[in-house]
A and B are shown apart, each in its own frame.
Chain A
Amino acid sequence: AQKITQTQPGMFVQEKEAVTLDCTYDTSDQSYGLFWYKQPSSGEMIFLIYQGSYDEQNATEGRYSLNFQKARKSANLVISASQLGDSAMYFCAMREGYSSASKIIFGSGTRLSIRP
């Protein structure tokens, strides 16, 4: 079974609009972490935002916010005021457990394209 599900293979958004990228996850662990990474065409993985399972507040990092719905097991990424430079692949990821050895697995990704 898929642990991380991203149902949007691709999205087109007009510049300056907000965009929500969907992510649902499946785990029986009580302690876990959720991440969003951006991968531009260069291939590098850029960390965007992190949400711990025990964090009560939704995480925010500048224009990025994570809409964490624990009961629904969803962790959607919201990008406000999109920019042309936001065009990239976006991956949702999950770490089960809380140790330095806990592996992180990735969803299939969403390709976001920003229209000028």
Chain B
Amino acid sequence: GAVVSQHPSWVICKSGTSVKIECRSLDFQATTMFWYRQFPKQSLMLMATSNEGSKATYEQGVEKDKFLINHASLTLSTLTVTSAHPEDSSFYICSARPAVMGRGNEKLFFGSGTQLSVL
């Protein structure tokens, strides 16, 4: 089945530093990838839609300068948390869907997530 690889799985950083999270679709092309954030015991909140070759679309309330998204190729999207602060600590999870919609391709494939802890 389709696989989405996300790295790193966890990261601890000091306040004020930037952290980059990578999301790769390993066996399919994805023109669109999605970034979600999840606080403990809560649901997945969509942060932004990453579009290959163009700017990301951010959900209301998400700071685009804080959470930089780059979708440089059909298989790679990155999320950079800039000048991270303790309140940015969370579980970040990416997802992707094959570019060609069709029967069997409706679902999102998820990465394994990144637990970010900012000290």
B99 at the interface (CB under 8 A from A): yes
Chain A hits for B49, CB < 8 A: 101, 103
Of A19-27, A39-47, A63-71, A73-81, the stretch lying at the interface with chain B is A39-47
Which residues of chain B from 33 to 53 have a CB within 8 Å of any chain A CB?
34, 36, 42-46, 49, 51
Do the beta carbons of A103 and B97 come within 8 Å of each other?
no
B44 smallest CB distance to A (angstroms): 5
Chain B hits for A106, CB < 8 A: 36, 43-46
Q: Is the interface on chain A under 10, 10 to 19, 20 to 34, or 35 or more residues?
A: 20 to 34
Q: How many residues of B contact A (CB 8 A)?
A: 28
A42 smallest CB distance to B (angstroms): 8
A59 smallest CB distance to B (angstroms): 11
CA distance A105 to B36 in the complex (A): 10
CA distance A47 to B95 in the complex (A): 12
CA distance A114 to B31 in the complex (A): 39
